């Protein structure tokens, strides 16, 4: 992967490539600050991140040559939460032709293969004087990251583990971007339907962050997860993490 190849394949989209960087989300914010009129859809790609960030300021691993770390600058009126969903659907659909199994989503937007996380999404809004300038849609996709023997062995996976063959990262990046462009023009209802259809979390016993346990019965139009306890109490979760979801396979 190199800048010339990415620029060629992603033309006319503005592209920045780093062999190594801290975080592509930070690079995207910097790029936007330097060039406020940058076209929507501009993308930062890195081969390695040394300070990759996940949700809730968790660390995100991007060792060299073994992942896709990309941040798309989106100038749209769609809410940040919608864009996270768009990112996860675009990734799931780009991965599916490469895999024998269905790609699912864990609420809110982790992309899973065989119940293990293959991709995480971090959408961050960029504001200037209380005006929303853009949303940075950060996507971290494990291509050949080795998790065996690490604390993530039971929960994380990589694409080559399932395909058994090398992956053409630039083409996969292109497919994800095509998917984002397509979904961004779709009405909320279709987006919500497609998301709900892929959610592995529904109809499962879940444990939410903070320990609340119950059955995930629905996601409402705001994207909130509706959880029902054994006594029938309903609770809505608009944000947070499902810490445990009984396995689907
Ligand atoms: C998560 O599941 O916690 C979200 C992970 C998001 C990681 C990506 S990698 C590209 C972009 N740059 C970052 O620093 N984070 C996102």
Please report the pLDDT score of residue 39 as a whole number: 97
3-state secondary structure of 215: strand
Its pTM stands at: 0.94
Ligand 1 atom showing the smallest separation from residue 119 Cα = 2
**Tens of pLDDT, residues 151-210:** 999 999 999 999 988 999 999 999 999 999 999 999 999 999 999 999 998 989 999 888
Atom number, ligand 1, closest to the C-alpha of residue 53: 14
Residue found by looking up tokens 């709900």 in the block? 196
- Average model confidence (pLDDT) for the chain? 93
Instruction: Say what the pLDDT of residue 249 is.
Output: 34
- Phi/psi for 143 (5° steps) reads -95, -55
24 lines ligand 1 (CB under 6 A): yes
**Given ligand 1 and candidates 120, 156, 243, which is best to mutate, with the most ligand atoms within 8 Å of its CB?**
120
Segment 80-97, tens digit of pLDDT: 889 999 999 999 999 999
CA distance 199 to 17: 32
**Cβ(157) – ligand 1 distance below 6 Å:** no
pLDDT the model gives residue 190:
96
The confidence score (pLDDT) of residue 222 equals 85
Q: How many percent of the chain have pLDDT more than 90?
A: 80
pLDDT of residue 248: 41
Residues 140-165, buried b or exposed e (16+ Cβ, 10 A)? bbbbbbebeeeeeeeebbbbbbbbee
**Which residue's alpha carbon is at the smallest distance from atom 7 of ligand 1?**
140
DSSP 58: -
Backbone angles phi, psi at 153, to 5 degrees: -55, -35
* Gap from CA of 228 to ligand 1 centroid (Å): 30
Span 44-77, pLDDT tens digits:
999 999 999 999 999 999 999 999 999 999 999 8
CA 52–ligand 1 middle distance (angstroms): 6
Q: Tell me the CA–centroid distance for residue 231 and ligand 1, in Å.
A: 37
What's the whole-number mean pLDDT along residues 138-148? Answer: 97
């Amino acid at each position: 992967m190199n800048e010339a190849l990415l620029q060629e394949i992603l033309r006319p989209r503005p592209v920045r490539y780093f062999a190594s960087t801290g975080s592509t989300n930070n690079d995207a914010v910097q790029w936007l600050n330097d060039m406020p009129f940058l076209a929507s859809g501009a993308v930062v790609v890195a081969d390695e991140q040394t300070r990759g960030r996940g949700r809730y300021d968790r660390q995100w691993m991007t060792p060299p040559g073994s992942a896709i770390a990309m941040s798309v600058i989106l100038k749209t009126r769609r809410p940040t939460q919608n864009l996270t969903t768009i990112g996860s659907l675009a990734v799931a659909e780009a991965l599916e032709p490469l895999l024998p199994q269905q790609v699912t989503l864990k609420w809110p937007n982790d992309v899973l293969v065989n119940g293990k996380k293959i991709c995480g999404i971090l959408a961050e809004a960029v504001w200037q004087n209380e005006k929303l300038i853009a949303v940075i849609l950060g996507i971290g996709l494990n291509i050949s990251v080795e998790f065996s023997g690490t604390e993530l062995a039971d929960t994380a996976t990589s694409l080559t583990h399932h395909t058994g063959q090398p992956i053409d990262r630039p083409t996969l990046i292109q497919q994800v971007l095509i998917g984002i462009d397509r979904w961004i023009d779709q009405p909320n209802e279709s987006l919500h339907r497609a998301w709900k259809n892929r959610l592995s979390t529904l109809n499962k016993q879940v444990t939410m962050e903070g320990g609340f346990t119950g059955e995930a019965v629905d996601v409402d139009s705001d994207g909130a997860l509706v959880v029902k306890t054994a006594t029938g109490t309903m609770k809505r979760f608009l944000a947070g993490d499902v810490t445990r979801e009984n396995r689907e396979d």
